[in-house]
Amino acid sequence: MKRELDNLVSQMHAGGITYAEAVREFKRRFLLEVLSHHKGNQCKAARELGMHRNTLSRTMAELELDPSQIRGILKRPPRSERPVLEVNRAVR
């Protein structure tokens, strides 16, 4: 993992990405990962991140992360769009 991170940092530096841009993108991706893991639950995500829920909310606003977007990604599709699973059942 460290080698992958080193390669990524080298590529970002060679690509002209600034420190501020790199930190912002890392924060966005990390928060999205933790929020996805907790299905958009900000209280649980904040607890895992070791920050207050208000701090997480404020950070999300700074990074332009919309909580409804995160929940929308994780929602199940409407019943009409779900695949139909056929179940073989023995008839008694």
**pLDDT confidence bin for 81, thresholds 50/70/90:** low
* Tens-digit pLDDT profile for residues 14-70: 999 999 999 999 999 999 999 999 988 999 999 999 999 999 999 999 999 987 777
Give the CA dihedral 51, 33, 11, 21, nearest 10 degrees: -50
Residue 60 tokens, joined:
């999300």
Structure tokens at 90: 């023995």
Residue 73 has pLDDT above 70, yes or no: no
More confident residue, 91 or 40: 40
- Predicted TM-score (pTM) of the model is 0.70
In angstroms, the CA 34 to CA 20 distance is 21
